[in-house]
């Protein structure tokens, strides 16, 4: 089998090829739209000796376990978890080398934040208990913040006194956690921030000295004293790889831990360096030609910010499914409180995810994304000759997708019931008794007459019909929260398929708010996607109606109770109209609609 290193050497020898191809050449590229530009990365690679460039990329064999895992458990924890603030970013003080340095006006005063470690006793911390939860959640690897940007070290380091051994807790937290992982069969990933806002050498901007006297020695400690380490999860805040002497750093790490993997944050985000990409707090686009991992929070923020509730189970499962269906992993974070206790609501939800994976894990673990690309309807995964359709949307039991270039030998509803599948006239139509629709995720397994990997990715929806449309509303909270915020004026993409950056909120006095989309001309609409608030937050809507204007009258096409950050709708019959309206019948304060897309 051709390794990624071999491909990389070939790419370096052929200047016309891209660095993207150097990482992974998929069997098919039809329908795949890489959403990034690697020109700068390629220029940097071209200056390296081929052997050094090859050393920067893991082999397919080394990536195998990670690609099969699909689910990782992330924890941000430290003395700042006692302060009800985001880790590092909640500190009011200098941020050397960062664009926000000198502009920070809010947060916990630096003197208080920096001295909080003196009160860090964490009486409830139990490494074995944490990792038992990791295993019970169904996660296959564990990411822990050994050092965040604030510079505090949660491990026994000889390079600074600003570490956990000098707290009332006085124990090597990282050692206890990695030992527990090794004991319970969980892969270890160590988060490490190269920037260090506490380190006096880093503050001078002398990065060469910082690397030689601090960064390299600490990485050596982490990769020497904690047994097998499977991933080094950097967070370099977008700085150039040469800032960290990245080639030397990665080569050293691989000497200490052969087979270790690296995320993309040892270079600028848009370079897509490392072994996998990492969209943050958003689901990555359909991308099966380069590994990726969404990192986000189950509730609250990066670190303990108060007892924030966990996202509802349907959103948690939907998040995991959409990541897998788009070809990526999910690293889901929880922030234990300052005492070292994982919040009961977070624990409950994680155990529910584990129970779901215990039953339906075959459709997630070891699968690849596709061959159907995701849409409001849901997502697809496959393994061998089996394609799993994950229907996440609200639907009436009928779903039409493009036909597969393969014969469907059998169809099975993993979540219960029987299904009829028919392929004709260029469509694959799924018909399920509405009583068998699962409220979380209806999973239909299609057994094909050939390996699904032989099928090129198939688009299930086009671009939103709402691009360039006009949006109006019954009221607007402010100019910032205007109705026009929910539709994109053009194809400009800000991040991971997100084309709008703001949201619409009605005036608080508006008792029956609505938002209306008017297209340039009547269109056939069969699917709708609505995103409310931050992904993972509970819905503020208790009853709503979606309407279409037909023959100058508003016709109800769907009635529902809650929306949330990932509401999809498959209409039983497509509707042709130029005007669609979302009307709130009953809702709570704080309503925010981020997008209203028609397909």
Q: For residue range 504-547, list pLDDT tens digits in order.
A: 999 989 989 999 999 999 999 999 999 998 777 788 999 999 99
- Which of 363, 392, 415 terminates a domain? The answer is 363
Interval 460-485 mean pLDDT: 91
List CB contacts of 113: < 8 A, sequence separation 6 or more. 80, 83, 85, 90, 91, 92, 93, 107, 150
Interval 457-476 mean pLDDT: 93
Alpha-carbon distance 464 to 173, whole Å? 48
My answer on whether 347 and 419 are in the same domain is no
Mean pLDDT of the chain: 91
Domain extent, residue 46, equals 4-54
In a domain, 459, yes or no: no
My answer on whether 335 and 389 are in the same domain is no
In a domain, 63, yes or no: no
My answer on whether 215 and 199 are in the same domain is yes
* Listed residue (384, 385, 404) closest to 449, CA to CA: 385
Structural tokens at position 181: 């992982």
**Cβ(401)–Cβ(421) under 8 Å?**
no
Residue 493: pLDDT band with limits 50, 70, 90: low
* Listed residue (229, 235, 233) closest to 258, CA to CA: 229
My answer on whether 188 and 287 are in the same domain is yes
Q: For residue range 290-311, list pLDDT tens digits in order.
A: 999 999 999 999 999 999 999 9
- Integer CA distances (angstroms), 239 to 10, 99, 243, 514, in order: 27, 11, 7, 44
My answer on whether 449 and 592 are in the same domain is no
Structural tokens at position 144: 């822990």
Alpha-carbon distance 533 to 200, whole Å? 40
Other CB atoms within a 10 A radius of the CB of residue 119 amount to: 11
pTM: 0.92
* Listed residue (117, 56, 69) closest to 251, CA to CA: 56
Alpha-carbon distance 576 to 571, whole Å? 12
Interval 247-261 mean pLDDT: 98
Q: For residue range 443-453, list pLDDT tens digits in order.
A: 999 999 999 99
pLDDT of 9 above 50: no
Lowest mean pLDDT across 37-41, 525-529, 537-541, 548-552:
37-41
Q: Calculate the CA 211 to chain-centre distance.
A: 30
My answer on whether 526 and 418 are in the same domain is no
CATH assignment at residue 177: 3.20.20.80
Alpha-carbon distance 312 to 212, whole Å? 46
Amino acid 502: pLDDT:
80
Structural tokens at position 290: 């380069």
In a domain, 60, yes or no: no
How many domains is the chain built from? 4
* Listed residue (528, 501, 531, 504) closest to 515, CA to CA: 504
List CB contacts of 516: < 8 A, sequence separation 6 or more. 471, 472, 473, 483, 579, 580, 581, 582
Alpha-carbon distance 339 to 349, whole Å? 20
pLDDT of 271 above 70: yes
- Which of 363, 389, 420 terminates a domain? The answer is 363
Alpha-carbon distance 153 to 162, whole Å? 6
Alpha-carbon distance 274 to 262, whole Å? 5
Q: For residue range 176-222, list pLDDT tens digits in order.
A: 999 999 999 999 999 999 999 999 999 999 999 999 999 999 999 99
What is the per-residue DSSP string for 228-275?
---EEEE--TT--GGGGTHHHHHHHHHHHSTT-EEBSTTS-GGG--SS
Collapsing DSSP to helix, strand or coil, 384 comes out as coil
In a domain, 112, yes or no: yes
Q: Which residues of 305-337 are buried (b: 16+ CB within 10 A; e: fewer)?
A: beebebbbbbbbbbbbbbbbbbbbbbbbbbbbb
Q: What angle do CA 296, 299, 303 make, to 5 degrees?
A: 75
Lowest mean pLDDT across 93-102, 278-287, 417-426:
278-287
What are the beta bridge partners of residue 424?
Answer: 427
Q: What is the sign, positive or negative, of the torsion defined by CA atoms of 88, 94, 97, 103? A: positive
Amino acid 496: pLDDT:
61
In a domain, 59, yes or no: no
Residue 588: pLDDT band with limits 50, 70, 90: confident
My answer on whether 284 and 184 are in the same domain is yes
Query: Scanning the structure block, which residue is given the tokens 């981020």?
Result: 594
- Which of 363, 392, 416 terminates a domain? The answer is 363
CATH assignment at residue 445: 2.60.40
Amino acid 30: pLDDT:
45
Name the percent of the chain lying above pLDDT 90: 83
As separate numbers, helices (DSSP H) first and strands (DSSP E) second, the chain gives: 14, 23
My answer on whether 184 and 241 are in the same domain is yes
Amino acid 486: pLDDT:
87
Amino acid 488: pLDDT:
80
* H or E, element range at 50: helix 50-54
My answer on whether 388 and 309 are in the same domain is no
In a domain, 465, yes or no: no
Pairing of strands 514-532, 470-473: antiparallel
My answer on whether 155 and 284 are in the same domain is yes
Collapsing DSSP to helix, strand or coil, 388 comes out as strand
Listed in sequence order, the DSSP H helices in 326-466 are 344-360
My answer on whether 162 and 256 are in the same domain is yes
In a domain, 464, yes or no: no
- Integer CA distances (angstroms), 580 to 142, 169, 461, 501, 543, in order: 44, 58, 18, 21, 17
Which region, left, alpha or beta, applies to residue 484 given φ > 0 means left and ψ of -120 to 50 means alpha? alpha
Interval 373-400 mean pLDDT: 97
Name the percent of the chain lying above pLDDT 70: 92
Interval 153-173 mean pLDDT: 98
**Cβ(325)–Cβ(377) under 8 Å?**
no
What is the per-residue DSSP string for 106-165?
SSEEHHHHHHGGGG---TT--HHHHHHHHHHHT-SEEEEEEE-TT--BSS--SS-S-BGG
Quote helix, strand, coil % in the chain, to nearest 5: 25, 30, 45
CATH assignment at residue 503: 2.60.120.260
My answer on whether 396 and 519 are in the same domain is no
Residue 497: pLDDT band with limits 50, 70, 90: low
In a domain, 64, yes or no: no
pLDDT of 29 above 50: no
Q: Calculate the CA 528 to chain-centre distance.
A: 22
Q: Is 352 exposed, middle or buried (0-12, 13-18, 19+ CB in 10 A)?
A: middle
pLDDT of 267 above 50: yes
Q: For residue range 120-156, list pLDDT tens digits in order.
A: 999 999 999 999 999 999 999 999 999 999 999 999 9
Amino acid 15: pLDDT:
28
């Amino acid at each position: 089998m051709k390794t990624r290193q071999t491909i990389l050497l070939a790419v370096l020898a052929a200047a016309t090829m891209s660095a993207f191809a150097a990482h992974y050449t998929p069997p098919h590229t039809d329908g795949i739209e890489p959403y990034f530009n690697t020109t700068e990365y390629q220029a940097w690679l071209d200056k390296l000796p081929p052997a050094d460039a090859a050393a920067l990329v893991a082999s397919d064999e080394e990536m195998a376990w990670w690609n099969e895992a699909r689910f990782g458990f992330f924890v941000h924890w430290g003395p700042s978890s006692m302060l009800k603030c985001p880790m590092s970013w909640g500190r009011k003080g200098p941020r050397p080398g960062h664009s926000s340095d000198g502009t920070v006006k809010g947060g916990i005063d630096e003197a208080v934040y920096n001295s909080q470690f003196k009160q860090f006793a964490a009486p409830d911390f139990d490494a074995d208990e944490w990792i038992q939860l990791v295993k019970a959640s169904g996660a296959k690897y564990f990411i822990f913040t050994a050092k965040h940007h604030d510079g505090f070290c949660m491990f026994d380091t000889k390079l600074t006194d600003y570490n956990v051994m000098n707290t009332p807790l006085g124990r090597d937290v990282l050692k206890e956690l990695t030992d527990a992982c090794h004991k319970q069969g969980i892969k270890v990933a160590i988060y490490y921030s190269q920037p260090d806002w506490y380190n006096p050498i880093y503050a001078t901007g002398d990065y060469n000295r910082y690397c030689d006297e601090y960064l390299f020695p600490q990485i050596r400690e982490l990769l020497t004293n904690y047994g097998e380490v499977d991933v080094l999860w950097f967070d370099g805040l977008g700085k150039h790889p040469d800032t960290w002497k990245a080639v030397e750093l990665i080569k050293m790490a691989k000497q200490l831990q052969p087979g270790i993997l690296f995320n993309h944050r040892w270079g600028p985000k848009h370079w897509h360096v490392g072994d996998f990409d990492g969209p943050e707090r958003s689901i990555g686009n359909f991308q099966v030609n380069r590994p990726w991992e969404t990192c986000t929070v189950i509730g609250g923020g990066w670190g303990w910010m108060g007892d924030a509730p966990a996202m509802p189970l349907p959103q948690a499962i939907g998040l995991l499914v959409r990541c897998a269906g788009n070809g990526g992993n999910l690293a889901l974070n929880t922030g234990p409180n300052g005492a070292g206790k994982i919040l009961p609501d977070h624990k409950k939800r994680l155990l529910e995810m584990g129970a779901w994976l215990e039953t339906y894990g075959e459709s997630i673990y070891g699968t690849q994304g596709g061959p159907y690309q995701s849409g409001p309807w849901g997502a697809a995964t496959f393994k061998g000759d089996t394609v799993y359709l994950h229907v996440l949307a609200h639907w009436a039991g009928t779903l039409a997708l493009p036909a597969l270039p393969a014969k469907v030998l059998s169809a099975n509803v993993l979540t219960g019931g029987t299904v009829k599948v028919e392929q004709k006239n260029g469509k694959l139509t799924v018909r399920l008794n509405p009583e068998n629709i699962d409220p979380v995720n209806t999973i239909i397994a299609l057994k094909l007459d050939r390996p699904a990997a032989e099928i090129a990715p198939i688009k299930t929806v086009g671009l939103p019909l709402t691009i360039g449309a006009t949006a109006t509303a019954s009221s607007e909270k402010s100019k910032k929260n205007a109705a026009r915020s929910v539709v994109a004026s053009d194809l400009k993409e800000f991040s991971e398929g997100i084309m709008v950056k703001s949201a619409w909120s009605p005036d608080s006095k508006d008792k029956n708010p609505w938002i209306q989309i008017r297209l340039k001309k009547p269109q056939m609409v069969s699917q709708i996607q609505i995103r409310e608030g931050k992904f993972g937050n509970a819905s503020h809507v208790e009853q709503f109606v979606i309407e279409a204007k037909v023959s100058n009258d508003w016709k109800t096409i769907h009635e529902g109770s809650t929306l949330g950050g990932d509401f999809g709708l498959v209409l039983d019959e497509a509707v042709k109209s130029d005007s669609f309206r979302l009307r709130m019948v009953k809702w709570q304060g704080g309503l925010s609609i981020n997008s209203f897309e028609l397909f």
